[in-house]
């Protein structure tokens, strides 16, 4: 069978001592840098890219992939420990992960993330190896109308992210969408809402907004009542998940992996939607949805598996077509070109060792990640014992450097201050930041695809309903909306929240 | 008033922000449905935001007033000042002084911080950041900027 | 690791000796600003060239990505930087087009910089979704003219290579097409492969592999001779289309006022880099080659810049599209 021969070639490539060593170094460096607050995978890879340039192409790419997984896991660690997502997908992990940490269950949350990621990574690696070409074909069926429908579905799921008022969640999504539109309009080149600053021409920086509305707002909230406050419980209960925890996380991990593997293939936004959508599904089908937002382990397991599965399958469009599906993949493509490999449909036939070596190294990288991180959990959790008044200046310093390193744009730092203030005010009004971030990421894409669909269909709005994929996605979106707004469901929601208040 | 009825205040905030975006969007071309202009989509969204804000406002009117809120004003000023100062100084003074300033300024946001501890923390974190980012990662930011070299 | 320590130490030393003589140049790390994000085609060109220049100059030449606003933010940064030879800019054709695309730039592209030399000229290819009917360029031209209301042309946003090329193509045909803008080449290529749009014209860096892999159809290269990497692809002139020759040229600049000896030293290092077999080989894989030695000079770059600003001004003004 071809697959076995190919995987054999992959293992032969990935398992040379040199490649294992660099895979390990990449995973380690990625974790260590990615765990610094405010520094997510994109910033980490951009910073570490030059280090890989002196290596051979296969080794360099294996190391880069290692940095990617490491940074992604490191980013989730920070999201759980200090409520600071380094990228959009870990914004979801922060919701329940941080609550778990506040309850002294940081170790469990981190272990859940590691185990979920490893399982998802293993399955997704197989998906990449077996289904890369057919999945690519499906992804190509997605035109602007389908993307628009998918984004709408994603936005509607955002309502479930909030554990408070639906109205506020909707308002936060809308505000996020609007903030996402700041910058140059790609259709006409007209600057929008830039207040005349050329620094805003490319829009607000995601990390700056995330650090502001999540990080700064959280620091301020902790400063409110320093004497009695529990930043994070000092007493840390068991590091590893209990049998009960394991039982709870199995199904969410399976569903998250499936969803992430599928959505990750879609170029542009797929991996972002994966973690949000998997969280929504878990909350919807849970018998105890009121636990979500208050430290539900399912709320960590599902998005982390979805996120990691999507991270893996997002390699598919890059490997089969040479198309970057997210900024990290764009960096990987840049690295390949510098190494003398032009990514494209030819890579699999011209460089089979490289192609299959990378795929197998994904799995090796995930394995190393678990081996590396399970022992490190004890260390990370101990960080929480650092007094908060020492921790937050460090968070600010790392975030400042991380944000500045992305584009050397000082404007992004002023944005941190502005969004810190806005985030804090909204927090005071009990508006949650996660839906805002989802809107912020999806805003420009939603508009882009809507307008593009209308241009290509020559103004025929029925295109959203006549194309089968688009129609199906919109039908699901409407269904979700009905379920959310249905009177008896809403009444049940209210009861749930009253119980909580009592 | 602010903070006593959270939905009311949130509603007002969303309405104000929505109105600002409407103002911005009206300065742009609206275009046609076939070729939407840059103002089309933002205008719709800003309208939705105002509507949602109004609904929240109405909901807030029926709420009883809540307890007054605590705001750490001193911390608020310092925490927001820290990244701003970093932005203003990193190119002129360089990375080293800018990091030191961030740590020093933000350290005093906590009432538990003493002057000595702040100084110690500043030195420690600055050295750590320089070692990690400049030496370890080779980040191309000057340690000491042109304002310092005469 | 040790080298990094030395580099950091050298940076500090270099700063404290700010007034060192020009003939000692360079005594510290030289920073080349690329006004686009890391990993893009321009960044790739920069990293290949600077790596070789580091060896020639005996000092670290690093790439600093200062993206944003069509490359104008990074250019503005260098225009304002100290003219000491330690702050350079590597920019592409956008240096000339932004002069018209942006009606208020914080610098004058013609006077704010001291040119060092041209680097490379990346050719453009006209490509289409693989099931588009016409078999050759002549067929395409009549097809486009007959179906001008339904044919769609993808580009990667205002000022992008694909946008410039589209403007040239449409003005040569005297036929305006429905343009569908994208945020970058990647998504545009995705939709072209997926058959959502009909046509695009983009750099060989972005199209060569997809053409070879049969994912898209290629009609012509907008160059006066065929490409070594795609020998079967006719030139536009062979297909009966004149005046669309277009290359995405890259140049290296210093801020105006940089001492003459420093510029000369940099121009020499650039020339050496462009003759470096490794650079030539990598450029070839990208479907391009370094400019001839006589083009890697300040005079050649200045002439190119002036000529290109003059060439694009009427095209952009006729299209009436501005980026601010």
* Per-residue confidence band for C176, with pLDDT thresholds at 50, 70 and 90: confident
Q: What is the pLDDT of residue C149?
A: 86
**For the purposes of burial, counting CB atoms within 10 Å of the CB of C135, is it exposed (0-12), middle (13-18) or buried (19 or more)?**
exposed
* Per-residue confidence band for A14, with pLDDT thresholds at 50, 70 and 90: confident
Per mean pLDDT, which of A133-137, A172-176, A384-388, C319-323 is the most reliable?
A172-176
Cβ contacts of A452 on chain C, cutoff 8 Å? 180-182
In chain C, pLDDT over 90 holds for what percent of residues? 33
- C1 to chain A nearest CA, in Å? 10
The residues spanned by each domain of chain B are 6-61, 73-136
pLDDT tens across B34-52, in order? 888 889 999 999 999 999 9
Cβ contacts of A387 on chain B, cutoff 8 Å? 112
Is the separation of the CB atoms in A100 and A248 below 8 Å?
A: no
The class that CATH gives domain C123-221 is: alpha beta
**Does the pLDDT of residue B149 top 70, yes or no?**
no
Task: Provide mean pLDDT across the span A322-344.
Answer: 73
Q: What is the pLDDT of residue C104?
A: 79
CB contact under 8 A, A459 and B141: no
* Per-residue confidence band for A497, with pLDDT thresholds at 50, 70 and 90: low
Neighbours of C17 (CB within 10 A): 13
* Per-residue confidence band for C197, with pLDDT thresholds at 50, 70 and 90: very high
Task: Provide mean pLDDT across the span A178-195.
Answer: 86
**Does the pLDDT of residue C189 top 60, yes or no?**
yes
Do domains C29-122+248-319 and C123-221 share one topology? The answer is yes
Task: Provide mean pLDDT across the span B60-67.
Answer: 76
Per mean pLDDT, which of A98-107, A464-473, B75-84, C242-251 is the most reliable?
B75-84
What backbone torsions phi and psi does residue C32 show, to the nearest 5 degrees?
Answer: -105, 115
Lowest mean pLDDT among A233-247, A398-412, A422-436, C80-94: A233-247
Neighbours of A387 (CB within 10 A): 12
CB contact under 8 A, B48 and A412: no
What CATH architecture is C29-122+248-319?
A: 3-Layer(aba) Sandwich (3.40)
**Does the pLDDT of residue A438 top 80, yes or no?**
yes
Q: Which chains touch C (3 or more CB pairs under 8 A)?
A: A, B
Q: What is the pLDDT of residue C324?
A: 63
pLDDT tens across A251-282, in order? 999 999 999 998 888 766 677 788 888 988 88
Average pLDDT, chain C: 84
The residues spanned by each domain of chain C are 29-122+248-319, 123-221
Task: Provide mean pLDDT across the span A482-498.
Answer: 57
Q: What is the pLDDT of residue B130?
A: 92
* Per-residue confidence band for A341, with pLDDT thresholds at 50, 70 and 90: confident
CB contact under 8 A, B14 and A447: no
Nearest chain A residue to C209 by CA distance is A344
pLDDT tens across B97-122, in order? 999 999 999 999 988 888 899 999 99
**Does the pLDDT of residue B56 top 80, yes or no?**
yes
Q: Quote the Cα angle for C62-A39-B98, to 5°.
A: 65
Q: What is the pLDDT of residue A270?
A: 74
Nearest by CB to B140, from C15, C16, C64: name it: C64
Location of structure tokens 């006729």: C318
Among candidate residues A83, A49, A82, the one with its CA nearest the CA of residue A67: A49
What backbone torsions phi and psi does residue C30 show, to the nearest 5 degrees?
Answer: -100, 130
Average pLDDT, chain A: 83
Task: Provide mean pLDDT across the span A438-445.
Answer: 85
Cβ contacts of A454 on chain B, cutoff 8 Å? 33-36
The residues spanned by each domain of chain A are 2-501
- B41 to chain C nearest CA, in Å? 16
**Does the pLDDT of residue A485 top 80, yes or no?**
no
Q: What is the 3-state secondary structure (H, E, C) of A190-234?
A: CEECCCCCHHHCCCCCHHHHHHHHHHHHHHHHHHHCCCCCCCCCC
Could you say which DSSP state residue C147 is in?
Answer: T
Task: Provide mean pLDDT across the span C203-220.
Answer: 87
Could you say which DSSP state residue B135 is in?
Answer: I
Task: Provide mean pLDDT across the span C252-257.
Answer: 92
Task: Provide mean pLDDT across the span A372-378.
Answer: 83
* Per-residue confidence band for C18, with pLDDT thresholds at 50, 70 and 90: very low
Among candidate residues A374, A454, A492, A482, the one with its CA nearest the CA of residue A145: A454
Per mean pLDDT, which of A43-57, B26-40, C245-259 is the most reliable?
C245-259
The answer to whether residue B134 neighbours chain C at the CB level (below 8 Å) is yes
Neighbours of A241 (CB within 10 A): 21
């Amino acid at each position: 069978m071809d697959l076995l021969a190919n995987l054999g070639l992959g293992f032969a490539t990935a398992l040379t001592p040199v490649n294992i060593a660099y895979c390990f170094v990449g995973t380690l460096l990625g974790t260590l840098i990615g765990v610094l607050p405010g520094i997510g995978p994109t910033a980490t890879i951009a910073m570490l890219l030059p280090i890989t340039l002196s290596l051979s192409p296969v080794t360099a790419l294996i190391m880069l992939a290692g940095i990617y997984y490491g940074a992604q896991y490191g980013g989730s660690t920070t999201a759980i420990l200090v409520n600071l997502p380094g990228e959009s997908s870990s914004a979801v992990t922060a919701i329940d992960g941080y609550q778990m940490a506040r309850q002294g269950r940081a170790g469990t949350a981190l272990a859940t993330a590691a185990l979920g990621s490893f399982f998802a990574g293993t399955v997704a690696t197989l998906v990449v190896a077996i289904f890369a070409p057919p999945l690519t074909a499906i992804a190509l069926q997605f035109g602007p109308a389908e993307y628009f429908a998918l984004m709408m579905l994603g936005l509607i799921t955002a309502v479930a992210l909030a554990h408070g008022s639906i109205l506020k969640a909707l308002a936060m999504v809308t505000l996020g969408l609007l903030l996402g539109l700041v910058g140059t309009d790609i259709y006409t080149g007209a600057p929008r809402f830039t207040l005349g600053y050329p620094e805003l021409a490319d829009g607000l920086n995601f990390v700056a907004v995330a650090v502001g509305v999540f990080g700064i707002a959280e620091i301020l909230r902790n400063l409110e009542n320093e004497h009695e406050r529990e930043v994070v419980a000092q007493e840390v209960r068991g590091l590893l998940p209990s049998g009960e925890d394991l039982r709870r996380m199995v199904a969410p991990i399976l569903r998250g992996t499936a969803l992430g593997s599928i959505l990750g293939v879609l170029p542009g936004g797929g991996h972002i939607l994966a973690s949000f959508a998997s969280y929504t599904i878990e909350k919807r089908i849970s018998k105890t949805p009121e636990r979500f937002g208050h430290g539900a382990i399912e709320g960590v397991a599902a998005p982390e598996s979805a996120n990691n599965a999507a991270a893996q399958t997002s390699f598919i469009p890059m490997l089969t077509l040479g198309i970057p599906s997210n900024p990290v993949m764009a960096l990987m493509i840049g690295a390949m070109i510098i190494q003398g490999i032009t990514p494209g449909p030819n890579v699999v036939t011209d460089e089979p060792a490289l192609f299959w070596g990378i795929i197998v190294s994904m799995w090796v990288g995930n394995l190393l990640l678990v081996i590396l991180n399970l022992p490190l959990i004890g260390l990370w959790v101990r960080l929480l014992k650092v007094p908060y008044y020492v921790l937050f200046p460090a968070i600010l310093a790392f975030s400042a450097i991380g944000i500045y390193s992305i584009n050397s744009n000082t404007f992004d730092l002023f944005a941190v201050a502005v969004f810190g203030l806005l985030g804090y005010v909204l927090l005071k009004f009990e508006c949650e930041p996660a839906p805002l971030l989802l809107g912020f990421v999806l805003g420009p894409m939603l508009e882009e695809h809507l307008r593009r669909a209308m241009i290509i269909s020559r103004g025929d709005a029925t295109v959203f309903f006549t194309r089968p994929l688009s129609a199906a996605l919109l039908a699901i979106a409407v269904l979700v909306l009905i379920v959310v707004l249905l009177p008896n469901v809403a009444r049940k929601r209210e009861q749930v929240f009253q119980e909580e208040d009592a | 008033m602010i903070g006593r009825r959270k939905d009311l205040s949130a509603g007002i905030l969303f309405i104000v922000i929505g109105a600002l975006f409407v103002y911005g969007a009206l300065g742009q071309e609206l275009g046609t449905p076939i070729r939407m202009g840059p103002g089309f989509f933002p205008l719709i969204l800003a309208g939705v935001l105002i509507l949602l804000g109004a609904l929240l406002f109405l909901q807030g009117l029926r709420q009883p007033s809540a307890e007054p809120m605590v705001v750490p004003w001193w911390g608020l000023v310092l925490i927001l000042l820290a990244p701003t100062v970093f932005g203003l100084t990193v190119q002129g003074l360089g990375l080293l002084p800018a990091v030191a300033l961030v740590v020093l300024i933000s350290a005093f946001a906590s009432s538990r911080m003493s002057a000595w501890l702040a100084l110690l923390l500043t030195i420690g974190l600055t050295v750590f950041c320089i070692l990690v980012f400049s030496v370890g990662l080779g980040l191309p930011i000057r340690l000491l900027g042109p304002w310092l070299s005469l | 690791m040790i080298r990094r320590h030395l580099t950091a130490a050298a940076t500090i030393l270099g700063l404290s000796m700010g007034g060192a003589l020009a003939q000692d140049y360079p005594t510290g790390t030289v920073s080349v600003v690329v006004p686009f994000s890391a990993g893009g085609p321009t960044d790739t060109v920069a990293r290949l060239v600077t790596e070789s220049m580091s060896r020639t100059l005996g000092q670290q030449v690093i790439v600093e990505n200062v993206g944003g606003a069509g490359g104008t933010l990074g250019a503005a940064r260098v225009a304002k930087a100290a003219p000491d030879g330690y702050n350079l800019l590597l920019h592409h054709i956008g240096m000339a087009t932004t002069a018209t695309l942006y009606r208020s730039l914080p610098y004058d592209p013609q006077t704010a910089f001291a040119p060092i030399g041209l680097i490379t000229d990346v050719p453009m290819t006209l490509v289409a979704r693989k099931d588009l009917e016409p078999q050759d360029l002549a067929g395409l031209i009549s097809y486009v003219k007959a179906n001008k209301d339904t044919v769609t042309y993808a580009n990667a946003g205002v000022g992008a290579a694909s946008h410039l090329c589209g403007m040239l193509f449409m003005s040569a045909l005297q036929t305006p097409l429905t343009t569908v803008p994208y945020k970058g080449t990647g998504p545009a290529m995705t939709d072209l492969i997926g058959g959502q749009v009909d046509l695009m014209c983009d750099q060989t860096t972005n199209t060569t592999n997809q053409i070879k892999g049969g994912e898209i159809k290629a009609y012509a290269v907008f160059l006066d001779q065929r490409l070594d990497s795609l020998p079967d692809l006719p030139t536009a002139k062979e297909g009966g289309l004149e005046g669309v020759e277009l290359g995405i040229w890259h140049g290296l600049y210093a801020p105006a006022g940089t001492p003459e000896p420093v510029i000369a030293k940099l121009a020499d290092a650039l020339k050496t880099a462009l003759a470096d077999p490794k650079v030539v080989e990598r450029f070839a894989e990208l479907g391009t080659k370094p400019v001839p030695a006589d083009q890697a000079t300040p005079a050649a770059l200045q002439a190119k810049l002036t000529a290109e600003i003059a060439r694009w001004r009427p095209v952009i003004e006729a299209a009436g599209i501005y980026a601010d």
